[in-house]
Structure 1
Amino acid sequence: PEVTDALRLVRLPYHLSAVSQATANAALQHYDVLLKNVEDIKAQRDRIVDGLRDLGLDPAVSDSNFVFFGGLADSHAVWQGLLERGVLVRDVGIPHHLRVTAGTEAETTAFLTALREVLAGVPATTPGQ
């Protein structure tokens, strides 16, 4: 009942469909799994920040599930190089900066490996080869 009341309060200024409300209720029924996922994402975010610093880049402080980072000579070329390696990051339109979302351990490893290759000028092969 308390959860439903809290969801009703949030719903007042924002429209939440019945499906959204049911999804939120289901997620809250499994909060232990949800909190574990949050901790895993935070660990990967911190790993990304450390990896970016190790590469001489400038990650912004982040408390979210993504990391905004700068220090790139040509952010579009880096974005393209990552894309060619099957890694998708966001070019937010700010010169010399990109944004990466924290995901699984494997995704973080793929991102950091691909970024090292791009920055080192290693030619891309077809993703998955």
Structure 2
Amino acid sequence: MVASVLVGMLCAHLLCFAVMFLLISKRLHGQKMGMDLFALGNFLLGSAYVLQLLEGGPAWSPMSVVNHTLTLASPVVYWLGAMRFLGTPSPCCLHFSYLLRSTALRRYWCNGAWGRWHATPCFQGDRHSCFL
């Protein structure tokens, strides 16, 4: 119960920060400085937490694939926003969308082919490699 309340509060704060960063990026007119990507990262992570709350306990479902994909996508979007904020050239977002689609499809296929417990170490490696 307490964990659900804390995750719900975190999710509300992330979604509110997403709106705040989006409004800041709209006010900067031509020089968004990555604020739009920070807003997207907050929205992705907040949405992942919303899906986690809706799903309940650990289970294998297409919703969990979307949840984990959004969780993995948010640090990459934050990284792209930081690159834009610091003025360094950032890679094309089209490549990022291909990476997300391939990750989601691979998760779906691995869970279907190997079962949830055998495919989990592979996904943990993906998650840890994003944070290194």
Normalising by structure 2, report the TM-score: 0.27
Give the strand-richer structure, 1 or 2.
Answer: 1
The structure with the larger Rg is 1
Give the helix-richer structure, 1 or 2.
Answer: 2
Normalising by structure 1, report the TM-score: 0.27
